[in-house]
Structure 1
Amino acid sequence: MFRDLLLRDLRGRFVGSRSGWLWVVLTPLLLLAVYGFVFGVIFRARVPAGLDLPFVAWLAIAMWPWLAFQDAILRAAASMPEHANLISKVPLARDQLALSAATAAFVLQVAGFVAVLVALPLFGVAIAPQGLAAALLTLAVLFALAAGLGFFAAALRVFYRDLDQLLPTLLMFAFFLTPILYAPEMLPDHLQSLWMFNPVAGLMNDLRAALLHGQVLPGAHTLWMVPVSALVFLVGRAFFRRLAPYFEDYL
């Protein structure tokens, strides 16, 4: 059932589009060109001291994983209202609806991320192949965290519709608290330690270390986040299942 729901979600993102799956590749490449022009030409942004690579490449390594993380949570949160008719008529494991929505969103963004990595040599940046295994583990940890938070968001959205407006704002705030557009060293001294409490920030640093510097072994933050993300996933799913029997009364 999960496979069928996942395929349905993947196909549903391109219903009515003539180009269909081509946009999975084209959209990230167009965004990469925009970021390269805006940050590299207009704002003349620079990478952290000591790194010899274009800012757009440094930005891209963290930007698309964040988009995957964000999109997975938002799509999971919207999954219950989108399947309200199915929930009211068919007895099924409702957590599969939220998980398939989060997985489809994450997979599509990661597919775009792959297109970006392939295009980075055009900016003079070669991805270190020896770091791919470590990067895959980091992405898996990021997905588990996103899916777990998505379970919480999906369950709460049924009872609190204001979450539709609140959640994107919270995620935008979290985006600017994560060193994606800037290096942690750019923060004022009294805020330097705060970014370390952001669980996603360390994962982004580990991705950059793996793909840009060829770090073979997973980063310390990724290893620490393996049990944390697993716990968030399990607790989020248990929370969702605890509230799922009451969904029909509110949808």
Structure 2
Amino acid sequence: MIRQHWYLVQQLARYEVISRYKGSLLGLLWMLVNPLMMLAVYGFVFTLVFNARWPGLIETDQTGFVLVLFSGLIVFSFASEAWTRAPSLLRENPSYVKKVIFPLYVLPIVALAPPLFQAVVSSAILLLGYLILIGPPPAAALLLPLVALIYVVVVLGVSYLLMTLGTFVPDLRHAVGTLMTVLLFVSPVFYPLAAIPAPLQPIVALNPLSFFLETTRALLFDGTPPRFHLWLIAFLGATLCLALGLLAFRKARDAFSDVL
């Protein structure tokens, strides 16, 4: 079905990205400024104020810590922005619901465009910093696009579910915003999974973000790919997540117009 409406998806996605900064002096340059500011602030706070160190890095390697931290923030921010917006997608566009010919299923896909574009820009900054401060990435880093693809599928599946539930429960958008703040600190963003007490590690590992955070850092900084069974679990989990999200959307599709 996505092929039938690919042109529509492209146009709406382009509009989503451009309209976000339309009217501002810097325009799309904000997508470059924002991650640089975030990198500078977190680097200052964690390396100079808290004097934090990442386990496994040389104690004096502050630049390495900043890059590791930045990579985790890129991964988390993509899901956070997409999921925070998802519950409001249909409520922001009630006219689309009334139009029988409009393919509502494209809305979560289109909504991924701004955070995905931002993640690409931030990743380019990360790669540039990596090349300057560390050198060429390990060969295992070539697997990062595959990790990103699986991750996008997971985020999209959850977005479908949140969009569906948010249409019937308006307060969900506020709850998700609060939940993402909590998730930022209970996910291994500012610390590795190994730093968590052993009894709690299996619980934190159930967080779907944990695999992608840990795998991204392992591929980029350690050159260590995950074991095959973890790839398989991630692939099957992403497929199941998307299937459940689409199923919930299709089951509730006819009731959207009654609510809105």
Q: Distance in 1 between matches of 2:86 and 2:28?
A: 21
**In structure 2, what is the equivalent of residue 66 of structure 1?**
76
Number of equivalenced pairs: 248
CA contact (8 A) 2:167 2:259 kept: yes
Q: CA deviation at 1:106?
A: 2.4
Percent identical residues: 27
- Structure 1, gaps ≥5 residues long: none
In structure 2, how many angstroms separate the alpha carbons of the residues matched to 1:182 and 1:174? 13
Preserved contact between residue 129 and residue 211 of structure 1 (Cα < 8 Å) = yes
Q: Residues 219, 30 of structure 1: CA spacing in aligned structure 2 closer, same or farther, 3 A cutoff? A: farther
Whether the aligned pair in 2 keeps the contact of 1:32 and 1:60 (CA below 8 Å) is yes
- Indicate conservation of the 8 Å contact 2:75/2:212, yes or no: no
Q: Matches of 2:253 and 2:79 in 1, distance apart?
A: 23
Which consecutive unaligned segments of at least 5 residues does structure 2 have?
1-7
Q: Shift of residue 47 of structure 1?
A: 0.4
SS in 2 for 1:21: helix
Aligned to 2:95: 85
Which position in structure 1 is the counterpart of 2:164? 155
Does the CA contact (< 8 Å) of 1:68 and 1:110 recur in 2? no
TM-score (norm 2): 0.87
Q: What's 2:30 paired with?
A: 23
1:134 corresponds in structure 2 to 143
Q: Which one of the candidate residues 151, 172, 183 is aligned to 2:181?
A: 172
- Aligned equivalent of 2:51, options 40, 44, 56: 44
Deviation at 1:41, TM superposition (A): 0.2
SS in 1 for 2:27: coil
The residue identity in structure 1 corresponding to 2:35 is P
Amino acid at match of 1:80: L
1:34 to 21, 34, 41: 41
Which AA in structure 2 matches 1:14? Y
Q: Please give the per-residue CA displacement for 1:72-91, whole angstroms capped at 9, x wherever unaligned.
A: 22233222122122332462
Instruction: Give the 3 Å change call, closer, same or farther, for CA 111–177 of structure 1 in structure 2.
Output: same
Is this contact kept in 2: 1:74–1:168, CA < 8 A? yes
- Please give the alpha-carbon distance, in whole angstroms, between the structure 2 residues aligned to 1:78 and 1:116: 31
Aligned residues of 2:71 and 2:217 also touching (Cα < 8 A): yes
- For residues 219 and 172 of structure 1, the distance between their equivalents in structure 2, rounded to whole angstroms, comes to 30
> What is the deviation of 1:204?
1.1
Q: CA deviation at 1:71?
A: 1.1
Distance 1:12 1:246 in 2: 30
User: What SS class does the counterpart of residue 180 from structure 1 fall into?
Assistant: coil
Compute the displacement of 1:55 (Å): 1.8
Amino acid at match of 2:75: P
RMSD, aligned CA: 2.0
1:40-88 C-alpha deviation (Å, 9 max, x unpaired): 000011101x323432111111111110111122233222122122332
2: CA distance, partners of 1:197 / 1:205:
13
For the 8 Å contact 2:31–2:121, the answer to whether it is kept is yes
- Between stretches 21-30 and 102-111, larger displacement belongs to 102-111
- Please list the CA deviations of residues 127-155 of structure 1 after superposition, one character each: whole Å capped at 9, or x if unmatched: 51523321111111111111000000001
* Alignment partners' CA distance in 1, 2:253 and 2:91: 13
Does the CA-based 8 Å contact 1:202-1:222 persist in structure 2? no
Aligned with 2:25: secondary structure? Answer: coil
User: Who is 2:201 aligned against?
Assistant: 192
Q: Give CA deviations for 1:162-196 in whole Å, capped at 9, x if unaligned.
A: 10210111222222221111122322343233222
